Amino acid sequence: MNEMPLLEVEGLQLYYQTYRGPVRAVDDVAFDIERGETLALVGESGCGKTSIAISIMRLLPRNIHTYRGSIIFDGVDLMKLSDEELRREVRWRRISMVFQGAMNALNPVLPVWLQVADPLIIHEGVEKEEARARAVEALKNVGLLEVVADRYPHELSGGMKQRVVIAMALIMKPELVILDEPTSALDIMTQANIMNLLKRLKWDLKLSYLFITHDLPLASELSDRLAVMYAGKIVEVGTAEQIYLNPLHPYTRKLIASVPTLRGEKELEFIPGEVPSLINPPRGCRFHPRCSEAMPICREEEPEMREIESRHLVACHLYD
Amino acid sequence: MSAPSLRPEAVIKEVLKTKSGIVAAILLLIIISLVIAVPIYAPYDVVKTWNDPEAWLSNPKNAAPIWVERLIGKRLPRNIFLGDENFSRRGFNVTYRGFTIKKIILRARFEYPYDDFPSHVRVEVLAKTNSSLRVSAEFIRPDGAAVQLFDETISREMPRLSMGTEGERFHRVAEAFYLDVTGRRPEAVVPEAILMASKESLIRGEPEVLKGRYALRLEVTSFNLSDDVEVELQLYGRVYGLAGTDSKGRDLLIGILWGAPVALAFSLTAAVVSTLIQTLFGILSGYLGGRVDEVIQRFTEFMMIIPMLPIMILVSFVYRISIWTLLVIVIVFSLVGSTTKVVRSMVPQIKEESYILAAISYGASPWRIMFLHIFPRVLPYTFSILALSVPGYVFLEAALSYLGLGDPVLPTWGRILGDAYTSGAAYYGYWWWILIPAGCIMMTALAFALLGYAFDKVVNPRLREM
């Protein structure tokens, strides 16, 4: 087995240009994903999770201020590839993505099979019949019947649409799939079905996932490791057990404490204050205005990532 | 909320559920049946025949449609045509003082049951002789009175004798008959009325049609035994066909029927092509944005300000163009327009939907995204624009033809109207010549306007409540 991780992100920065100044959506982020591993990226809305996904895919909007760092995928720095190389060699062939919001992820005026097969038609130039046949195969693989192929998106339920989107992401047999809130618009039963499907596909196809979610319990379902993000930075990375059983960062602790559990009376906690502006983030640790354990140094100095136990990293002055 | 279903079949089904959609469909069926009727009613080169004045000689001029009879409750005269084959002929030779003379008696009868006089009567004799022969003709009325129309010698040099009620000869005959019956001179001589009126009514001074069996009897005298004549009698009616005739005797129904495919072909082609091209420019403008957007939008504004009709009048006036050249010019002037603006305003929203982002991420080219993903999304909305733009093109073509600047050879509704105008149809009260083509133009415009309204209701759900 290759020692090198499948994906290694180092010093990634993505700033958006606005009239009021650059928005530091992703600020100096580093993480890696091993082959066959699932890394969950957890954080509140607006903390930069999706920005990381579009940085990897290089699906940048027009108003980019800064885009730098290194994204090494299977030994190749994606940052150094041209747009055309990235389009032809990487996107969908090796890294594909399931976009947020299953309801709008399909074109309402095109039949399902055409949308599932469109990447094949573009990249491999396959004929219509073959494209349809392979789309049907992909649909069967995600637990859909062949009749779905000729349906239009409005004729499908939310769960079916999500399965279609997953089929579309897997049609080129990629190695890494970025799942951006794949179940956010679905009810809890459908959510469970989709999670089981993703697990099965991961085993069957030996996939790696970058699983982006705001839902901490859901992250535990699928992920081997978790990265907790706050205000454009990763504050804690560790295995699922480490994060759940021994959360180190005060933000992670609060996040876990705010999740309701079925067993036992539990006073739900919340984090006072609000998410800081990413245009003008607080000096020092970005969490310090809301942190109950803030120290004078937190206001002055930005904490470094340090490894507390094996593969468990945290950026907090409490552990200096 | 999921996006509404906007597939073409579904949209058409929805359109047919609305009241305006049903009315539009019925009107369109009528127009299409006009188109289908052309090869059945006029299975020949309509364009050539229409412009050939010879082809319409046997039709009454300015005749009203036949169904007028039902409105006014009178039987109006139809065309009565008696050709040579309708004449019975009796020939015999008379020898007199050593000369043999050939005599031929020709006779034809016809029934005249109508409540009004014919619009025109014409008698034509063609002599087949090497030298000359003498022909006399008698018009025999149902009351037994025989009026001699002429008694003339026809020579080889001018073998044709033609006598129409507009001519002097018919006037003299009629005047003499009137004098004979009433003992006074007529104030105005209308030969077809005097010769076919009952004597009592002539004496009263209010000519009424004498109904019954009329006959024309000719007597030919010749010294040459091989001589012969050909005779024709035509009584022109006052009603003709379903749409009447114009001042040249042309059957307006042919023009109306032929006008339908021309109007549809012109306006639909102009509407479809210009709407599609405008849509494409709108997509380009909205999707690519930036400088492309700026150029397309400013150019669109420029083109929208240019007044189309005056330019068309100028171009047609200078170059005398056919309808198809006109179509090309119309399309050129409509490459960008209001549809470009409408589509341009819809694309940025569609562009942000996640399937577009997905398409970009799996490597679809901008062209593929514009044509495969965005074009079918905006297409249903352009249906209504398309349908609503058809009346404009119908009117444009009609307006140019009306001004005499349309196609010089094709019979179109606008050209029929233009002919009616130059012939003073409104002044003389030839209403069918104006109302029928104008009605067709309005029906086509209304059909497409209603269709567009129905489409609008379906694809624009906020209007559905109305």
pLDDT in tens, A298-307: 888 889 888 9
Backbone angles phi, psi at B145, to 5 degrees: -65, 135
| Residue B49: band (very low, low, confident or very high) from pLDDT cuts 50, 70, 90 | confident
pLDDT greater than 80 at residue B464:
no
Instruction: Provide mean pLDDT across the span B127-133.
Output: 87
pLDDT in tens, B335-381: 999 999 999 999 999 988 888 988 888 888 899 999 999 998 888 88
Q: Are A219 and A211 in contact (CB under 8 A)?
A: yes
State which residue of chain A sits closest to B353, comparing Cα positions: A104
Q: Output the six-digit token pair for A226.
A: 């978790």
Q: Are A57 and A100 in contact (CB under 8 A)?
A: no
Residue A222 belongs to what H/E stretch? Answer: helix A216-222
| Residue B406: band (very low, low, confident or very high) from pLDDT cuts 50, 70, 90 | confident
Residue from A107, A122, A128 to probe the interface with B (highest B Cβ count within 10 Å): A107
CATH 2.60.120 boundaries in chain B: 74-236
pLDDT of residue B313: 85
A89 min Cα distance to partner chain B (Å): 10
Residue from B354, B356, B371 to probe the interface with A (highest A Cβ count within 10 Å): B354
Q: Which residues fall within 8 angstroms of residue B102, CB to CB, at 6 or more apart? A: B91, B92, B93, B94, B220, B221, B222, B223, B224, B225, B227
pLDDT of residue B28: 92
pLDDT greater than 80 at residue B6:
no
Backbone angles phi, psi at A115, to 5 degrees: -70, -40
pLDDT in tens, A113-134: 999 999 999 888 889 999 999 9
Q: Using CB atoms, which residue from B5, B360, B362 is nearest to A154?
A: B5
Instruction: Provide mean pLDDT across the span B323-331.
Output: 88
| Lowest mean pLDDT across A74-88, A269-283, A287-301 | A269-283
List the A23-33 sheet strands across, edge first.
Answer: A23-33, A7-16, A64-73, A76-77
With H, G, I as helix, E, B as strand and everything else as coil, classify residue A88. helix
Q: Are B21 and A170 in contact (CB under 8 A)?
A: no
The one-letter code for the residue type at A112 is: V
Instruction: Provide mean pLDDT across the span B269-282.
Output: 94
CATH 1.10.3720 boundaries in chain B: 8-54+249-465
pLDDT greater than 90 at residue B465:
no
The CATH fold of domain B8-54+249-465: MetI-like fold (1.10.3720)
pLDDT greater than 90 at residue A262:
no
pLDDT of residue B312: 84
Measured between beta carbons, which residues in chain A are less than 8 angstroms from residue B354?
99-101, 104-105
Measured between beta carbons, which residues in chain B are less than 8 angstroms from residue A152?
5, 7
The ipTM is: 0.82
pLDDT in tens, B54-108: 888 888 989 999 999 889 888 999 989 998 889 998 888 888 788 888 889 999 9
Backbone angles phi, psi at B222, to 5 degrees: -150, 155
pLDDT in tens, A41-82: 998 888 888 899 999 999 888 889 999 999 999 989 999 999
Residue from A94, A104, A178 to probe the interface with B (highest B Cβ count within 10 Å): A104
C-alpha distances out from residue A216 to A77, A252, A308, B244, Å: 31, 10, 22, 84
| Cα–Cα distance, A159 to A193 (Å, whole number) | 8
Mean pLDDT across chain B: 88
Q: Are A86 and A73 in contact (CB under 8 A)?
A: no
Could you give all domains of chain A from N- to C-terminal order, each with its CATH number?
7-94+174-319 (3.40.50.300)
| Cα–Cα distance, A180 to A168 (Å, whole number) | 14
Which residues of chain B approach chain A closer than 8 Å at the C-beta? Answer: 1-7, 353-355, 357-365, 368, 372-373, 376-377, 379-380
Q: Which of B181, B212, B173, B180 is closest to B199 using CA atoms?
A: B181
Q: Using CB atoms, which residue from B7, B354, B362 is nearest to A105?
A: B354
Instruction: Provide mean pLDDT across the span B391-415.
Output: 86
Backbone angles phi, psi at B114, to 5 degrees: -85, 165
| Cα–Cα distance, A6 to A178 (Å, whole number) | 13
Measured between beta carbons, which residues in chain A are less than 8 angstroms from residue B461?
none
State which residue of chain B sits closest to A102, comparing Cα positions: B354
Q: In terms of pTM, does the model score above 0.95?
A: no
Measured between beta carbons, which residues in chain A are less than 8 angstroms from residue B361?
57, 59, 91-92, 96-97, 99
SS3 content of chain A, % helix, strand, coil (to 5): 40, 25, 40
Q: Using CB atoms, which residue from A109, A119, A172 is nearest to B6?
A: A109
Numbers of helices and strands, H then E, in chain A? 10, 12
Q: Which residues fall within 8 angstroms of residue B374, CB to CB, at 6 or more apart? A: B283, B287, B347, B350, B351, B356
Q: Is there a contact between A97 and B359 if contact means CB atoms under 8 Å apart?
A: no
Q: Is there a contact between B363 and A91 if contact means CB atoms under 8 Å apart?
A: yes
State which residue of chain B sits closest to A107, comparing Cα positions: B355
- For chain A, report the end-to-end CA distance as a whole number of angstroms: 35
Q: Output the six-digit token pair for B203.
A: 């004496």
Q: Output the six-digit token pair for B134.
A: 């003498």
Residue A56's CB: how many other CB atoms inside 10 A?
21
Instruction: Provide mean pLDDT across the span B265-275.
Output: 93
Measured between beta carbons, which residues in chain B are less than 8 angstroms from residue A109?
6-7, 376-377, 379-380
State which residue of chain B sits closest to A87, comparing Cα positions: B363
Q: Does domain B74-236 have CATH number 2.60.120?
A: yes
C-alpha distances out from residue B398 to A144, B309, B323, B331, B404, Å: 57, 11, 11, 17, 10
pLDDT greater than 70 at residue B3:
no
Residue A5 belongs to what H/E stretch? Answer: none
State which residue of chain B sits closest to A55, comparing Cα positions: B361
The one-letter code for the residue type at B130 is: N
Q: Is there a contact between B358 and A153 if contact means CB atoms under 8 Å apart?
A: no
**Cα dihedral sign for A139, A142, A147, A151?**
negative
Chain A / chain B CB contacts < 8 angstroms: 79
Measured between beta carbons, which residues in chain A are less than 8 angstroms from residue B3?
104, 108, 153-154
B458 min Cα distance to partner chain A (Å): 15
Adjacent-strand bridge partners of A307: A313
